[in-house]
Structure 1
Amino acid sequence: MNPSSPSRSWSVIVSSCDAYSDLWPFFFHFFEQRWPQAPRPLYLVANFQTFDHAGVRTLAVGPDRSWGATIHAALEKIPDEFVIFLLDDFFLDQTIPMGWVEDLVAQLDQARGDFVSLYHVAVGGAPLAEGSMLSEIRERMECPGFHAGIFRRSYLMKLAAAGENIWRTESLMRDDALDRRFKQFSLTAASPFHLTYVESVRGRFWKKNGLDYLKQNGLKPDLWRRPHPPSGDDVISKVIRSFHKRRMQWMERLRSKAHTKPVQPLKSDTHA
């Protein structure tokens, strides 16, 4: 890597939809705390609802389609060559150091790469060059998939163009690890940082560690809108989860037909 090489343009995109709009105040609360120097605007993918924050631009792409078609429509509205791709239920839990992402973008661009994970550290992977933070992915299951990473925008659009759900798109991405036309990377052990987060939701419900993280930070979610039902395999637990899923789907249909106001940030956050 040539340290004097100029960084190419990049932005942050957060994959979401209106059904997860209750997570937005929490996601961006932690984002502003952990990564205040990230370039603005931040791009939020949604259906119709918007998030009322000056630093966030909501990309409202209309009714639910396939995950890939939704992301493709959003990416068409982003001008930057590289995008940092994040998921709405992954709450940042460490401060991201200044210059780290800029250096990674510059290295990825110089390597003509398509993707580098921001959290996955290669086990025994050799650096691309002396001093590089990039270790090339060569096997299918070395690719960590859609968690948090830097994508060349054209490559992410290529994946999204298939119009598949996120799990099938992740499989397509892993297939590309075997295709020498594409270049995917993990972080080397020498990278000074790797991004960490709390995965707060699974199967539409709050995870315990997500609730614990909110509690540790003095925050309370709406447990009627998104509950934390028992996760056991017994009949009663399954019935409770089924009831909540049906109720949540009914409430989402009602919200989609109503005139919804913009989602507000937490009261402790500003609109700077």
Structure 2
Amino acid sequence: MNKSTALIVLTCDSYSDLWPMFINFSEKYWPDCPYDKYFITNNKSIPESTFSAIKIGKDESWSDGLLKTIDKLKSKYDYLLITLEDSPIIEYVDQNKLNLITNSFFAAKGNFLSLFTQNNIGTPTRRYNEFFGIIDKGSLYRPTCVYSLWKISVLEDLLVREENAWDFERYGSVRSDKYDGFFMVYNNFFKMSNTVIKGKWLRSEYKKISNLGFQPDIKNRELMSRTEELKFKTYVLIFVILNKFIPIPWKIRRKVIFTLKGYKYKKLD
């Protein structure tokens, strides 16, 4: 890589039970990761590993914690590859292919690249090259922080200290319209497991992780009930079906979804 990039895992101390799992799979399936690697914690230390910890102390919000992280890293790095502790990779990473993708992104003077498609929201609105397409201004949920590569100065500019992660995806998408250079791969580059939803383990993902040879710690974290998991999966399935078979033109999708879910544009002022 010809740009300085750090891999950061956004987390907090209350999710420390997931750290050994993430580290285990990262070191197993991505042994040749070329980036400096960090866990962003509050006050706890991480298990001994190829990762380092950046302790930011108490954070007032998700965005506040990320801004504190950026303040510590922006003098050293141009880009951040960001993910979350509950999304471990579960298949080997092709670093040579990733280099081709990221070098193409740098050559395009990109500001944001999602390496994970948002299957329940959409795909790139226009083709750019063989690796990724453009996420046009006005697109729904334009920025994310799940396996996404960010130009650090752009991410810092888009963050609002009081927002949580969901607010950032909603309202940060509107703020991001001031920037070009937002891209998304056509197909997921990383194969990951979405292990925990609203603080609880998905039973199916717990089984998957166990079958891959790692026994998660569930002493202090509940498994979803079968009914809860069925409701969650049904909701996702309905959203995906509606998105696929009753497609809303991308140019009006943000307005329609914001209206349906009660999001207020006035919060963007």
Q: TM-score band, normalised by the shorter chain?
A: 0.7 to 0.9
Change (3 A) 1:207 1:229: closer
Q: Which moved more, 1:67-76 or 1:101-110?
A: 101-110
Equivalent position SS for 2:227: coil
Alignment map for 1:42-53 (pairs within 5 Å)? 42-53=37-48
Query: 2:116 matched to which residue of 1?
Result: 119
Using the alignment, how far apart are the partners of 2:221 and 2:147 within structure 1? 24
1:70 corresponds to which letter in structure 2?
G
Greater RCO (Cα-Cα under 8 Å, separation 6 or more): 1
2:155 corresponds to which letter in structure 1?
L
Say what the alpha-carbon RMSD is for the aligned residues: 2.3
Query: 1:210 matched to which residue of 2?
Result: 205
Alignment map for 1:1-272 (pairs within 5 Å)? 7-78=2-73, 79-120=76-117, 123=123, 125-128=125-128, 131-138=129-136, 139-141=138-140, 143=142, 145-176=144-175, 179-188=177-186, 194-230=189-225, 232=227
- List gaps (5 residues or longer) in structure 1: 1-5, 234-272
Using the alignment, how far apart are the partners of 2:112 and 2:94 within structure 1? 20
Note if contact 2:142-2:169 (Cα within 8 Å) is conserved in structure 1: no
1:50 corresponds to which letter in structure 2?
S
- List gaps (5 residues or longer) in structure 2: 229-269
Using the alignment, how far apart are the partners of 2:178 and 2:55 within structure 1? 35
Task: Give the deviation of 1:220 after TM superposition.
Answer: 2.2
Deviations 1:6-50 (A, max 9, x none): 621212010100000010000010111111111253111110001
Change (3 A) 1:151 1:103: same
Change (3 A) 1:127 1:208: same
1:114 corresponds to which letter in structure 2?
N
| Divergent runs of 4+, >6 A | none
Question: Which structure is larger by alpha-carbon Rg, 1 or 2?
Answer: 1
Equivalent position SS for 1:13: strand
Percent identity, please: 22
Query: 1:249 matched to which residue of 2?
Result: none
1:172 corresponds to which letter in structure 2?
Y
Note if contact 2:159-2:172 (Cα within 8 Å) is conserved in structure 1: no
Using structure 2 for the length normalisation, give the TM-score.
0.75
Task: Give the deviation of 1:172 after TM superposition.
Answer: 2.7
Equivalent position SS for 1:212: helix
Task: Give the deviation of 1:162 after TM superposition.
Answer: 3.6
Note if contact 1:68-1:159 (Cα within 8 Å) is conserved in structure 2: no
Using the alignment, how far apart are the partners of 2:65 and 2:55 within structure 1? 9
Using the alignment, how far apart are the partners of 1:205 and 1:155 within structure 2? 33
Using structure 1 for the length normalisation, give the TM-score.
0.74
Task: Give the deviation of 1:69 after TM superposition.
Answer: 0.8
